[in-house]
Amino acid sequence: AIHEVMEQQTVSIAKAGITTTLNARASVLAAANPSYGRYRRDRTPAENINLPAALLSRFDLLFLLLDRPNSESDIALARHVTHVHRTGEHPALNFQPIEPQVLRAYIAEARALHNPIIPTNGTIVERTTTF
């Protein structure tokens, strides 16, 4: 069913003796965890996620969010989560967060002035960042 929606932008419905086809004007955002709980860089995304390549190819963009194992950051995250559950409050921040109005203005400016760069040679652009 999802193949039809993503490829032909229609949904076929057959219920209670009524068969119809409806237009599907929606974006599809999906999330998947890797097979066996750990992403293996020596495998393709299709092999890691265990979804057919025919289905993955229908997505315009594919983002991989990889969590590299790090015991220090894992312990810090666990402490944060347990603190919030115990006290019902977030701990004090050691930085000044960006005001929502500033972030909205930045996003609006990026949308208005900058066009995305799409590679013409069909290559996949890989960009990594750490938080």
The pLDDT tens digits for 100-111 are 998 888 888 777
Rounded Cα distance, 30 and 53, in Å: 15
Q: Which residue intervals of 35-99 are DSSP H helices?
A: 45-49, 53-56, 71-87
pLDDT value for 41: 87
Q: Is the pLDDT of residue 38 over 90?
A: no
Q: Is the pLDDT of residue 24 over 90?
A: no
pTM passes above 0.85: no
Rounded Cα distance, 82 and 67, in Å: 20
Nearest to 25 by CA among 1, 38, 6: 6
pLDDT value for 131: 47
* Number of CB atoms found within 10 A of residue 12's CB: 12
Phi and psi angles of residue 73, each rounded to the nearest 5 degrees, phi first: -70, -35
What mean pLDDT do residues 55-67 have? 81
